Chains A and B, each alone.
Chain A
Amino acid sequence: MTYIAKPKFHHPGLPKNELGYTHRDYEGKISTLCAGCGHDSITASIIEACYELSIEPHRVAKISGIGCSSKTPDYFLGNSHGFNSVHGRMPSVLTGANLANRDLIYLGVSGDGDSASIGFGQFAHSIRRAVNMTYIVENNGVYGLTKGQFSATADRGSKSKKGVMNTDNAIDLVAIALQLGASFVARSFSGDKSQLVPLIAAAIRHKGASFIDVISPCIAFNNHAGSTKSFDYVREHNDAVNRLDVLTGRDPITVDYAPGTVQMVEQHDGTRLALRKIDADYDANDRLAAMTFLQKHAAKGQVVTGLLYVDPDSEDLHTHLDTVETPLNTLEARDLCPGTAALEKINASLR
């Protein structure tokens, strides 16, 4: 984590989005991650997605746990409030923040050590509660900050930089998210910005628990022969199920799709997902099929990327709790305190 801010200079010719913000307005501090780290590519994709969606940066709350991935919220959306909480506990902090103010956008950034080990429970329960969030796991299969131990997403049989063979089975967070009822589940690769940016944008617009597992090679400790999270391995084994563009009801952000091969997905907020099907049999609205598809390809050693499942009729925790539309953190004493008259009645009932 760094306190070195990027220079404020803006080239006057930088393109602006609908709100008049440039890309620079979505940037944060200078990354102190290793040069070439996949996490920095994800940071760039988050910046791009927020720019394209014309999000007001300060209306985003970015929350993380502990680890390399959890440092990244300092590197984007510099005008947003960030919260680097404790190891594996990002989901609960994000859940509480979301309960307090339903009007903000919540970006949860986590790592495989953070979410698949110490925070596995919190990951699971935030998903099953349908917290309205975009939960991104920057997954490199290794503990970078402590220099190279296997994480719980490391594949069985893969090797560490020191040549140690991993004998434990891997946890597939995408499979778990599907099983737990996430209403938006995707996997991508940090090096595939053209796929990742629209996925993040769609996840942000989605109401409910959006989960994106992003394979993000650790160039220091997990980018060697024998690793299944390396750049080379993922490029060789990547099988994209679809490509996703986002239409926001305004001008399309990208228009790179072919007529006749697009599945339109209407979401609750009017956002329309344009889903390009590469596999003719793939239906991103079928949770069961997604789980089967994932397992079949995993058995073949293939990393399936793309939008695996989306529920267009999704709900979130606030829907389930039936909370008022007004953010709870703006309610005042007159809204919340029942007053002396009510207390007198309570007193009377206790005699």
Chain B
Amino acid sequence: MSVQSPISSVNDFVVRFANVNGSGSASANELFARSILRHGVPVSPRNIFPSNIQGLPTWYEVRVTEDGHLGARGGVDMMVAMNPQTWDKDVASIEPGGYLFYDSTKPMPTSKFRADINVIGVPLTAITNSTYTDPRQRQLFKNIIYLGALCALLDMDPKLVEQLIGEQYKGKEKLLSSNVHALHLGRDWALQNLKCPIGLQVKKSDKVGDRIFIEGNSAAALGAVYGGATVCAWYPITPSSSVAEAFTSHCKKLRHDPETGKAKYAIVQGEDELASIGIVIGASWNGARAFTATSGPGISLMTEFIGLSYFAEIPAVIMNIQRAGPSTGMPTRTQQCDIIACAYASHGDTKHVLLFPEDPAEAFEFAAQSFDLADRLQTMIFLMLDLDIGMNHRLCRPLKWDDARQYDRGKVMTAEMLDEPGRDFGRYLDVDGDGIPYRTYPGTHPTKGSFFTRGTSRDRYARYSEEGAVYADNMQRLVRKFETAQDMVPRPLQANAAKPTKYGVIYFGSTAPAMDEAIGLLESRGHQLDRMRIRAFPFHSSVASFIADHDFVYVVEQNRDAQLRQLIVNENGIDPVRLVPILHYDGTPITARFIANAIGDHQDHLKVTPLRKAVS
């Protein structure tokens, strides 16, 4: 079957693999993405998977992007349709002129195809069954065989793929040779039976540079290692579990005493999220750097302790890898939907510091920085990732560290300081006006510096008190501390449009790559936008200035209720009308097309509609 105008593109297309969860396809699909990287061509892959172990549909999408666009694009140029259950949906998602790659062992009726796409059948099951007898081998090698066929169809260099397989199975010769053999089976069949290459092609380039390919969760975990975290307590929950698992893995390699072999870290899988954050708070209270990783439902469970951390002023770090809520929501789908829940977590008047990294490199930096911030501010720090950053490989700049960097342990009074003549230690005394008091670690001094930590109200010397003035004094100091935090957290990054404009856009976190691309698409439609990427809460004063400098500011986020916009309005007293929400919340990563269409349509509307109607 053929169409008149098949898509023709070099190093710029989207391949989507439709598989069945548990079929062992993940490693083959990831190998495909890495192979393209080895050609010097940037890729942006994404897992779309169900919240079960086996049997349900799973997709893996590889965006091949010479221009380096790392956001999701939307649309599929080639569908590798390996799941009969999702066949109709998969076929329907192919762009006109695109390609359908399928297992042609069993003939398919013409009605199962589309007239405007190109169909490529490879008898994968037949090839596999004629070579392998073991059922598990048949399942696993079928994935490598289709990878081999794709190599031929896309004109990829088989040596680069073999090299990757060699690295993956280093020291396991039997596995290495059998995988290479399967790769050749698929490639040879395609070369002999199909017209290779097709319109979509991978050509060697030099656009990857020294960038690395890493998942956000792994990078954040490495940031915790470099940031000096010694205690990790966690409870498994998608999509955050791989943070703790990566921390364990990194620590095993990097954190053992060379002489004794003993661990310079402690990792405990708690019985639940409550225990995990309790362990973190206990460790932090006692002077260790500690963190937990969780997701929205875990945050819900931890809120009691989060309030204690705020009020008793105990440093701690929570890495929140957000997923679609509320309740159990969609556990394996991405959103940025815990902004309000984390910013004001717990009962009473609370405010918490949030950090919003855009990619793994920033996840690494912010994770390390979060421990300095927690110690300096003596409060809870939330590192806000989401599934899209956390569980997908991203191409990003190499991770960097300054060996001269020292940890900022904040205001900790030592025994020597306590003995200084005239020194007055009060646990909640604001001695220098920044709202941050000194603390002591347990065991510091035989007679000075001890105090009682509690979640109930107390005076500046940590003595229990229910006096209204004493309570208000403490709460006001906490406000001062939060104001101090404003200049300590990562500042927003701002970029102006090519031409002067009255419009701006604010965004954060995993939206960044799609926004970078969307700006270009909007420019091509004649829309100029200044942009600001917010990287932390509390908001820097430049956020309000940015909004004040524009007639309208779009706020792009991945949740239903415009949570960042709410926070900006609430904290900065800004007229909500001036902030136009652009919201994407179906659980898939936001795309450049979506942003450009949503903002572009609004801008077009503004040109012809009175202001009041445009914003109503």
Contact = CB atoms under 8 A, between A and B. Distances in A.
Interface string B247-283: 0000000110100111111111011101111111111
A51 to B, nearest CB: 15
A112 B263 CA distance: 36
Q: Which residue, A56, A82, A85, A347, has most C-beta atoms of chain B within 10 A? A: A85
B443 to A, nearest CB: 5
A323 B266 contact: yes
Contact of B281 (A81, A96, A318, A325): A96
Given A331-B230, A337-B226, A96 B284 contact: yes
Interface string A102-121: 01100000000000000001
B180 to A, nearest CB: 21
A332 B305 contact: no
Given A85-B455, A96-B231, A350 B285 contact: no
A335 B260 CA distance: 14
Contact of A95 (B268, B305, B450): B268
A104 B228 contact: no
A91 B231 CA distance: 16
Interface stretch (A10-18, A72-80, A135-143, A165-173): A72-80
A336 B285 contact: no
A294 interface: no
A336 B230 contact: yes
Interface in A62-107: 63, 73-74, 78-86, 89, 91-101, 103-104
Contact of B231 (A3, A328, A330): A328
Interface in B86-145: none
B278 A58 contact: no
Contacts of A3: 459, 463-465
A323 B304 CA distance: 30
A299 interface: no
Nearest to B34: A351
A333 to B, nearest CB: 5
A242 B277 CA distance: 40
Interface in B420-457: 440-447, 450-456
Given A101-B288, A347-B212, A63 B282 contact: yes
Interface stretch (B393-401, B528-536, B561-569): B393-401
B454 to A, nearest CB: 4
Nearest to A80: B450
A63 B285 CA distance: 11
B286 A335 contact: no
A74 B446 contact: no
A61 B443 contact: yes
Given A323-B265, A333-B407, A351-B213, A101 B287 contact: yes
Interface stretch (A37-45, A156-164, A283-291, A338-346): A338-346
A261 interface: no
A59 B415 CA distance: 13
B450 A84 contact: no
Contacts of B226: 337-338, 343
* 3 pairs of A and B residues whose beta carbons are closest in the complex: A96-B282, A92-B278, A100-B288
Interface of A: 1-3, 56-59, 61, 63, 73-74, 78-86, 89, 91-101, 103-104, 121-122, 124-125, 129, 317-318, 321-325, 328-333, 335-340, 342-343, 346-347, 350-351
Given A3-B463, A323-B266, A339-B401, 16 more contacts: A58-B446, A83-B452, A85-B282, A86-B304, A95-B278, A97-B285, A99-B231, A99-B279, A100-B230, A103-B443, A325-B260, A329-B286, A336-B225, A336-B255, A337-B405, A351-B213
Interface of B: 37, 208, 210-214, 222, 225-226, 228, 230-231, 233, 254-255, 257, 260-268, 270-272, 274-288, 290, 304-305, 308, 398-403, 405-407, 440-447, 450-456, 459, 463-465
19 contacts: A2-B464, A74-B452, A79-B446, A79-B447, A82-B450, A89-B305, A96-B231, A124-B271, A321-B266, A321-B267, A321-B268, A323-B266, A328-B264, A331-B228, A335-B264, A337-B228, A338-B225, A343-B401, A346-B222
